[in-house]
Amino acid sequence: MAQTDPNCIFCKIVRKEISADEVLRDEHVVAFRDLNPQAPTHVLVIPTEHAAHLSDFMQQAPAQAAHLLAAASELGRRFGPGGYRVVMNEGADAGQTVHHLHAHVLAGRRMTWPPG
Protein backbone atom coordinates (compact mmCIF):
# COMPACT_ATOMS: atom_id res chain seq x y z
CA MET A 1 0.00 0.00 0.00
CA ALA A 2 1.18 3.52 -0.78
CA GLN A 3 2.70 5.43 2.11
CA THR A 4 0.58 8.24 3.54
CA ASP A 5 0.97 10.59 6.52
CA PRO A 6 -2.26 11.38 8.39
CA ASN A 7 -0.96 14.82 9.42
CA CYS A 8 0.49 15.90 6.07
CA ILE A 9 -1.46 18.68 4.32
CA PHE A 10 -0.59 17.40 0.83
CA CYS A 11 -1.60 13.82 1.76
CA LYS A 12 -4.94 15.36 2.82
CA ILE A 13 -5.24 16.88 -0.68
CA VAL A 14 -4.48 13.44 -2.18
CA ARG A 15 -7.20 11.90 0.01
CA LYS A 16 -9.57 14.82 -0.83
CA GLU A 17 -9.95 15.66 2.85
CA ILE A 18 -9.12 19.27 1.99
CA SER A 19 -9.99 20.88 -1.31
CA ALA A 20 -7.58 22.10 -3.96
CA ASP A 21 -7.98 23.54 -7.45
CA GLU A 22 -6.82 20.42 -9.27
CA VAL A 23 -5.56 20.47 -12.85
CA LEU A 24 -4.41 16.82 -13.10
CA ARG A 25 -4.92 13.62 -11.12
CA ASP A 26 -3.96 10.03 -11.86
CA GLU A 27 -2.83 6.99 -9.88
CA HIS A 28 0.62 8.43 -9.12
CA VAL A 29 0.35 12.24 -9.04
CA VAL A 30 -1.99 15.10 -8.19
CA ALA A 31 -1.41 18.62 -9.54
CA PHE A 32 -3.20 21.67 -8.17
CA ARG A 33 -2.84 25.45 -8.11
CA ASP A 34 -0.59 26.90 -5.40
CA LEU A 35 -2.36 28.91 -2.68
CA ASN A 36 0.26 31.66 -2.98
CA PRO A 37 0.98 31.92 -6.72
CA GLN A 38 4.29 33.40 -7.85
CA ALA A 39 3.33 33.53 -11.55
CA PRO A 40 0.08 33.66 -13.57
CA THR A 41 0.21 29.86 -13.58
CA HIS A 42 1.71 28.26 -10.46
CA VAL A 43 0.89 24.59 -10.06
CA LEU A 44 2.26 22.03 -7.60
CA VAL A 45 2.74 18.45 -8.74
CA ILE A 46 2.90 15.92 -5.90
CA PRO A 47 3.20 12.15 -5.69
CA THR A 48 0.13 10.38 -4.28
CA GLU A 49 2.58 8.48 -2.07
CA HIS A 50 4.10 10.40 0.85
CA ALA A 51 7.81 11.19 0.64
CA ALA A 52 9.35 14.24 2.22
CA HIS A 53 12.17 14.76 -0.24
CA LEU A 54 13.21 14.09 -3.82
CA SER A 55 16.29 12.21 -2.61
CA ASP A 56 14.11 9.81 -0.52
CA PHE A 57 11.65 9.36 -3.35
CA MET A 58 14.36 8.53 -5.88
CA GLN A 59 15.34 5.60 -3.62
CA GLN A 60 11.79 4.61 -2.69
CA ALA A 61 9.99 4.88 -6.04
CA PRO A 62 12.15 5.92 -9.00
CA ALA A 63 9.48 5.10 -11.59
CA GLN A 64 6.98 7.36 -9.81
CA ALA A 65 9.62 10.10 -9.58
CA ALA A 66 10.01 9.93 -13.36
CA HIS A 67 6.24 10.01 -13.73
CA LEU A 68 6.11 13.15 -11.58
CA LEU A 69 8.61 14.88 -13.86
CA ALA A 70 6.65 13.77 -16.92
CA ALA A 71 3.49 15.30 -15.42
CA ALA A 72 5.37 18.54 -14.61
CA SER A 73 6.60 18.83 -18.20
CA GLU A 74 3.13 18.08 -19.60
CA LEU A 75 1.66 20.84 -17.43
CA GLY A 76 4.51 23.20 -18.32
CA ARG A 77 3.76 22.71 -22.02
CA ARG A 78 0.04 23.14 -21.39
CA PHE A 79 0.27 26.34 -19.34
CA GLY A 80 3.51 27.81 -20.67
CA PRO A 81 3.75 27.46 -24.43
CA GLY A 82 6.36 30.24 -24.37
CA GLY A 83 8.38 28.54 -21.62
CA TYR A 84 8.01 27.41 -18.04
CA ARG A 85 10.06 26.70 -14.94
CA VAL A 86 10.07 23.61 -12.68
CA VAL A 87 11.42 24.08 -9.14
CA MET A 88 11.81 21.58 -6.33
CA ASN A 89 12.85 22.96 -2.95
CA GLU A 90 14.52 20.44 -0.62
CA GLY A 91 15.45 21.36 2.92
CA ALA A 92 15.67 24.53 4.96
CA ASP A 93 18.29 26.30 2.85
CA ALA A 94 16.09 25.92 -0.23
CA GLY A 95 13.04 27.22 1.66
CA GLN A 96 11.00 24.00 1.70
CA THR A 97 7.94 24.60 3.89
CA VAL A 98 5.77 21.55 3.12
CA HIS A 99 7.52 18.25 3.73
CA HIS A 100 5.77 16.27 1.05
CA LEU A 101 7.75 16.28 -2.18
CA HIS A 102 6.38 18.72 -4.76
CA ALA A 103 7.45 20.25 -8.04
CA HIS A 104 6.43 23.86 -8.63
CA VAL A 105 5.50 24.53 -12.27
CA LEU A 106 5.57 28.26 -13.00
CA ALA A 107 4.49 29.86 -16.27
CA GLY A 108 2.85 32.89 -17.83
CA ARG A 109 5.52 35.53 -17.30
CA ARG A 110 9.18 36.13 -18.08
CA MET A 111 11.37 34.62 -15.35
CA THR A 112 14.62 36.03 -14.06
CA TRP A 113 17.80 34.22 -13.04
CA PRO A 114 19.28 33.61 -10.50
CA PRO A 115 16.24 32.78 -8.32
CA GLY A 116 16.07 34.42 -4.91
- When asked if residue 45 is in the footprint of ligand DGP (CB under 6 A), the reply is no
CB nearer to ligand DGP: give 1 or 97: 97
- Do residues 99 and 55 lie in contact, with contact meaning Cβ atoms separated by under 8 Å? no
Q: Is 19 in the site for ligand DGP (CB under 6 A)?
A: no
**What are 43's strand-pairing partners?**
33, 105
C-alpha to C-alpha distance for 72 and 107, rounded to whole angstroms: 11
Residue selected from 86, 96, 109, 111 as contacting ligand DGP according to rule CB under 6 A: 96
Site stretch for ligand DGP (CB under 6 A), options 49-57, 65-73, 75-83, 90-98: 90-98
CA distance 23 to 45: 9
Least separation in angstroms between residue 54's CB and ligand DGP is 11
Helical ranges in 1-116 per DSSP H: 9-14, 54-60, 62-79
Active site residue 100: no
Active-site amino acid positions: 102
